[in-house]
Amino acid sequence: MIAGPQPGTPAGAWAPPRNGASAAPQQDWLGAGDPEVGDCVQMQGQTSFDTVDCTSAEAEYKVVGVHDEEMTWPGFEAAASADEVCEQFATWEVALWIGDLEIEPGTISCSEPV
């Protein structure tokens, strides 16, 4: 089950691997725009991530797909906890919700470990 956002964090969020870990709102998206299919990201703690070169040692997750519709944070939480949000991407393990909790909805990038 994925837990709700931490209080006091107004920006987007990422959901950790689907092993029961909790989701944490993202305060800082350090890249330029949303990650696209094929982009790699490095977590900068539990609340932020950056786009990095996929061949670098810093690359942790690679985006394997983008959910076909934007989703509010509460909708994302419900879908992610049921493993429904990225089920069409066979190799996904991490769902990244990118948006602002106060200006919803957000984009969902489905990712796999590098």
Residues 31-88 pLDDT 10s:
456 789 999 999 876 556 789 999 999 999 999 999 988 988 888 888 877 788 898 9
pTM score > 0.75 for this model? no
Range of the domain at 108: 15-113
Instruction: Please report whether residue 2 resides in a domain.
Output: no
Instruction: Please report whether residue 3 resides in a domain.
Output: no
> Residue 7 pLDDT more than 50?
no
Instruction: Please report whether residue 1 resides in a domain.
Output: no
What's the number of domains the chain is made of?
1
Instruction: Please report whether residue 27 resides in a domain.
Output: yes
Q: What is the DSSP track for the chain?
A: ----PPTT--EEEEE--TTTPPPEE-SEE-SSSS--TT-EEEESSTTEEEEE-TTSTT--EEEEEE-SS-B-HHHHHHHHHTT-TTTTSTT--EEEEEEETTEEEEEEEEEEE-
Q: What is the mean pLDDT of residues 87-108?
A: 86
